[in-house]
Structure formats: C-alpha cells, structure tokens
Amino acid sequence: MKAVVFTKYGSPDVLEVRDVEKPTPQDGEVLVRIHATSLNEWDDGALRGEDVVNRLIFGVQAPKRGRQILGSDIAGVVESVGKGVTRFQSGDAVYGDLSGRWGGFAEFVCAPEKALAPKPRSMTFEQAAAIPQAGLLAFQALRMMGPMRPGQTLLINGAGGGVGTFALQLLKPHGLVVSAVDSAGKLELLRELGAAQVHDYAREDFTRTGQRYDFILDVKTLRSVLACTRALKPAGSYVTVGGSMPRLIQALLLWPWVALVQRKKIRLLALKANQGLDVLNELFEAGKLVPVIDRCFGLEETAAAFRFYEAGEPPGKGGDQGGAEG
C-alpha cells in the first residue's frame, strides 16, 4: 500500500510517499481502507519535532518505527476485522480519532474497534475525517467550563480554526454573547457562524481592551495566562485546548494561585479521544453541526496540504484533508 512517511524531523519537504506493507488487524482491531484523513495541529508539530513531548512520543533523535506515518482523524470503510470484533464488519463506513497510534496518511490503517464510530449515511468521508479531534476538543472544553446561562459572555481566541468553528456552532443553543478572535480574513465566516463580535488579533489585543468575559476558550494559548485571566469577570473560567508549550506549562503552574487569589478558574483540557462522538453524530444528523472545510488534497499531495496549513491558516479544517481518497 502507499503511505506518507517521515523518517526525520523537519519541514513538509521530508515527507515521502512510499510503498509499505499493508497492516493486518490483530485481536480487537479493524482494518480500514481510508477515504479521508484530516490534518491537525498535532501532526504539524510532530512533523517538525517542535517540543519535548513530541520527541518523547515519536522519537528523540528521529521518528521511530511505528511512528513514521502521521494522521489521526480518519474516515473509511472496514476491509476486514480481527478476532473478537463485534461492532463492525466488512463494508461498514466508520470514522474516529487514532491519537496515540496515528497511521492515517496511508491507504489502509489498523485501528482498535473502540476508536471507531459508525459514519452516518448523510455525512461525507471528508466531513467525517474533519470532526473527531477538533469537534471533541470544542465539545469537551465547553463541558469543562461548567453551567452556562443565556446572556453570559464568552470569548474564543483562535476561533477561525477547526476547534473554534465547532465551538461557535455548539454554543448557539446556550444563548451566550460570543466574541471571536482571529485573523481579518476569517472574521466574516465567524459572524456567519454566530459570533456577536469579531476581533482581528493583529489590530487589537483582547486582554487589553477592558472587556471582561464570563468564559474564555483559548485555542492558541500564545498570550500570557495571567493576561488572559485579567480579561475574565470575577469567578470567570478560562479553558485552553492547546498551543504554545511554555504557555501551557505556565497555565498548569499558575492555576492554584489564580484560583486562590483571583477566584477564577484555569483549566487545561486533555482530550479524551472519541468520547462524545455519538453526541456530535446526532447534532450533525439534525443539521446543527457542520464541519467547515476549506480544501481537500489527494494522498500524494499530503506535503502540499501541510504547506497550505502552515502558510495560509485556512478557516475551519481547511487544508486538513490531506489523506487518501480511495
């Protein structure tokens, strides 16, 4: 089978399309013929070996065997199943997040049965691949914030990406007044998705405007955590789902002090892969949740998808469909 492999860290130029051995499902596993795979921020960080965490997971000096094919959010059709698999059979359309195993930028991948969900008939493979990680980061982050009341205020920093565009849709039933921060080219989309206010991060710093919010969802985590908590109302809640590793460590170290002195909450979300996917399925089928996809690429164009992701900051999951379209 064909797969996109990286044997050293670096730019998308190090990605190679190679013929590799087709995997065989073990007990409890499903072999999936991949139709689409989405590109997430974690894939890009892993490719470049940007931080200690990625190096520990993928290999200190170079990606180790078994970690040389990126891609975690996959959608496809079951080819065969291993012993003990009861939920799926050959021909079933499935999707899910393979974080911890990866292997999605290929024609086939083996996945644990529990990591997959049935794909609704009305959902395209591209839509299915765009949902698991970004959709559940948004879903779990909003749950972590606690009870919400109509009229409360919430700001999403980095709202134009996959997580933010899902969060805006998930927030609609709550009646909150939502502010969205991102680049100028994404602001009109954010208005269409329900943001009451939009802010160009290049023109204003939301931590210095004097506005205060009941909740902040930070997708980027590039600003000081203390600056972000200053933008919270008393008893406000700040949740980060990813971004700069030094800032995430800062948040981890500061949350007890902020809770004690400022009476505000800081939360770091550790994604629980695929937990809540059934809820997102129901919302999709009800027409209340639709992935924002900017562009799709073929398997052999995966390096181009990474470059597009890095250079263009596409809206939603734009540039993320870099997987096989079998």
| Domain containing residue 113: CATH number | 3.90.180.10
Backbone CA torsion sign across 192, 193, 199, 201 = negative
- pTM attached to this predicted model: 0.91
Domain assignment of residue 286, yes or no? no
Q: Which of 63-77, 238-252, 264-278 has the highest mean pLDDT?
A: 63-77
Contact 226, 264 (CB under 8 A): no
Task: Kindly tell me if the per-residue pLDDT of 204 is higher than 60.
Answer: yes
Shared domain check, 301 and 244: no
Domain assignment of residue 319, yes or no? no
Shared domain check, 228 and 167: yes
pLDDT band at 323 (very low <50, low <70, confident <90, very high): very low
Could you tell me the residue range of the domain that residue 228 belongs to? 133-268
Amino acid 113: pLDDT: 96
Amino acid 322: pLDDT: 45
Per-residue pLDDT tens over the stretch 155-165 = 999 999 999 99
How far apart CA 105 and CA 38 sit, in angstroms, is 9
Domain assignment of residue 280, yes or no? no
Give the residue-averaged pLDDT of 39-60: 90
Task: Kindly tell me if the per-residue pLDDT of 321 is higher than 70.
Answer: no
Give the residue-averaged pLDDT of 109-133: 96
Shared domain check, 238 and 138: yes
Shared domain check, 77 and 182: no
- What is the amino acid identity at position 216? I
Sheet holding 117-118, edge to edge: 108-112, 29-38, 73-81, 93-97, 117-118
Domain boundary among 268, 300, 321: 268
- The SS3 of residue 152 is coil
Domain assignment of residue 90, yes or no? yes
Work out the burial of residue 130: count CB atoms within 10 Å of its CB; fewer than 13 is exposed, 13-18 middle, 19 or more buried.
Answer: buried
Shared domain check, 69 and 120: yes
Tokens of 312: 């263009």
Strands 213-218 and 29-38: unpaired
Shared domain check, 112 and 47: yes
Across the chain, mean pLDDT equals 91
Domain assignment of residue 318, yes or no? no
Shared domain check, 165 and 100: no
Residues pairing with 180 in the sheet: 156, 198
Task: Kindly tell me if the per-residue pLDDT of 210 is higher than 90.
Answer: yes
pLDDT band at 260 (very low <50, low <70, confident <90, very high): low
Domain assignment of residue 284, yes or no? no
Shared domain check, 21 and 98: yes
> How far is C-alpha 45 from the geometric centre of its chain's CA atoms?
13
Domain CATH code at residue 231: 3.40.50.720
Residue 232's H or E segment, with its range, is: strand 232-240
Domain assignment of residue 321, yes or no? no
The tally of domains found in the chain comes to: 2
How far apart CA 231 and CA 218 sit, in angstroms, is 12
